[in-house]
Structure 1
């Protein structure tokens, strides 16, 4: 692997994924929520820059091609697990999260089974939009969990006015985040079904030829 800037950004994003839940181990809330949100946003931004720079500087590599989707999935999956836990296991959140997690596992398993033939299942523009929407929804939901903690009056150094203000923003961020995650789940299921349809011809091949 060459230590190009695009590859370094991809590696940093891969390391940032498991660091998100660590924020809740080393910081008190709501500072943990803000730290997780900041880390997630910075990592999400690198998702655009590493691909853009790799193409612009002609530094595309097999490492980047392999690690980029893994880093994206790790970021999304880990962040969704954290948010679900700190959102009180809200059923309106659990269902779209389940759809997203199922699709990611299903498509990853499908690609692993197909091996070299999975290269014919190119990433579509809709799948890229799906990832972008997932990340935007997660960022808004992280904002909602932090504001919710403040609104409940559990954050130190926050007056009554601040709590009321946070409660209003908490409700707004939570509702917007839930709408976005449901839309993202719909796109996620759609792209998963699209990959499955495209993979069907290879799944119907005799086992000894697969």
Structure 2
């Protein structure tokens, strides 16, 4: 992903222009397309009744996450805008989906405490990453963060499908599976946040600011 690239020196090398002509490349267009797709997804969730369609749109938006970073690295098209937009869109899709699911109430299995954990963790770790990388530290995504992202995506899809009145999504067994998935997502999100904090602490002990 663009967001994992090494910090670049000011005014040197590729990607230093935030809004220069080089931003109109394939990786950034994919990122913007994912943002537009997420907005369409939120509208469909808000309109209700299109739960399987919503789940499919979310899967496409989430699954294409790796494409922008892949093409940026392959064709050396890393830009400052891409490094900003890519992680923003990732969090926008996940957090936005959970917020709109929260509006559906208990039927979605999502509650306010769960959403608070998700958004709180993302805000804190994003701030921590920005603080460290601004000071030249490499704070790229870890395996716990990648697993967290994957589990959160599963939770969104399962929650969306559980709102469908059609079998097998309206069965007690599927609803139990949804609730277990949501609880597991909350725990893994908390674990990932703690893991990042400990990693930052070790980093600062080895190399104080």
Q: TM bucket by the smaller chain?
A: 0.7 to 0.9
**Distance (Å, rounded) in 2 between the aligned partners of 1:15 and 1:186:** 30
4, 9, 12: which one aligns with 2:33: 12
CA RMSD after TM alignment: 2.9
Partner of 1:120, secondary structure, is coil
84, 88, 91: which one aligns with 2:106: 88
Q: 1:89 to 1:99 in 2, by over 3 A?
A: farther
Contact 2:132 2:139 in 1 (8 A): no
Report how far residue 133 of structure 1 moved.
1.6
Is residue 142 from structure 1 mapped to residue 160 from structure 2 by the alignment? yes
**Unaligned stretches of 5+ in structure 1?**
151-165
Is residue 52 from structure 1 mapped to residue 70 from structure 2 by the alignment? yes
User: By percentage of residues, which structure has more helix?
Assistant: 1
Deviations 1:2-48 (A, max 9, x none): 322221111111233333221245x4x312x2342232122112102
Deviations 1:39-83 (A, max 9, x none): 212211210222233333333333322211111111010100111
Q: Which residue matches 2:177?
A: 176
Q: Which residue matches 2:190?
A: 189
Deviations 1:173-194 (A, max 9, x none): 4332332232222222122112
134, 158, 164: which one aligns with 1:116: 134
Q: 1:52 to 1:96 in 2, by over 3 A?
A: same
TM-score, normalised by the number of residues in structure 2: 0.73
Contact 2:133 2:139 in 1 (8 A): no
**Unaligned stretches of 5+ in structure 2?**
1-21
**Distance (Å, rounded) in 2 between the aligned partners of 1:21 and 1:91:** 17
**Distance (Å, rounded) in 2 between the aligned partners of 1:137 and 1:11:** 24
